[in-house]
Every structure is written in C-alpha cells, then in structure tokens.
C-alpha cells in the first residue's frame, strides 16, 4: 500500500517529467551538467519553481566597504538530483542500445 511519502514522490517525479518535456536540446544538456550537490543557477531554479518544484534558497548578507551585499544560492533538492541521475542513466542506456543495434562490422565512424 503506497504511503503519503510515496504519493508525494510520484507527484514530484511527474512534475519533474513535465518540466523535462519543456526543455530544448540546450536545456537538456545544461540540466545534465548539474552534478548532485551543486547549487542551481537562478534561471534553472526559477524554471523549476515555475513548474511547481520547491527549491530552497539560502541568502548570505555581508558588508563590503559599508555597502550591504547579498548573495542568494539555490539548493538542489534530492528529488532533482535523483531525477537527473535517472535521466543520465536512461540516456546512457539508450546510447548503449543504439551502439549495440548495429550489425557486426556495419557501424559507421565519423572523422
């Protein structure tokens, strides 16, 4: 029997799938370059937030020559890390299957 946490994870996965489906090729490449534990860029975080993904942020304020400065970093949620790892795995598997689908000796190479 699914638990409330299972339902939340499924919903989060569905939200991330919806977000993923909106990415163009560059967006996909950029997303796949994000390593687990990396902070997210503001644009990346905003895009996820617009799709309903909660992105925690941390603000750091400091004084530089009498001027107050503030930096905000966006923390990568575990659900996003796990989703991107799954997508990397799927793409790697698809790439392996494509390479293995060539009959022996018929794979072409480009130079």
State the chain's maximal CA–CA distance in angstroms.
70
Q: Is residue 111 domain-resident? A: no
Note the pLDDT tens digit of each residue in 51-101. Answer: 999 999 999 888 999 999 998 999 999 999 999 999 999 989 987 765 554
34-65: per-residue pLDDT in tens?
A: 999 999 999 999 999 999 999 999 998 889 99
1 or 31: which leads in pLDDT: 31
Residue 60 lies in a domain: yes
pLDDT value of position 11: 83
C-alpha distance from residue 24 to each of 6, 20, 21, 82 (Å): 29, 9, 8, 20
Residue 33: inside a domain: yes
**Count: domains in the chain:** 1
Asked if residue 29 is part of any domain, the answer here is yes
Residue pair 99/109 in contact by the 8 Å Cβ criterion: no
CA-based nearest residue to 19, from 83, 73, 66: 83
């Amino acid at each position: 029997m699914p638990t409330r946490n299972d339902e939340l994870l499924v919903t989060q996965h569905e939200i991330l799938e919806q977000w993923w489906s909106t990415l163009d090729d560059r967006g996909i490449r950029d997303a796949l370059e994000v390593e687990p534990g990396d902070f997210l860029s503001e644009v990346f975080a905003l895009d996820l937030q617009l799709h309903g993904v909660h992105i925690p942020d941390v603000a750091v304020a400091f004084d530089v020559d009498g001027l107050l400065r503030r930096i905000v970093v966006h923390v990568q949620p575990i659900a996003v890390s796990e989703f991107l790892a799954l997508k990397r795995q799927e793409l790697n598997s698809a790439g392996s299957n494509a390479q293995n689908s060539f009959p022996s000796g018929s794979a072409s190479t480009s130079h």
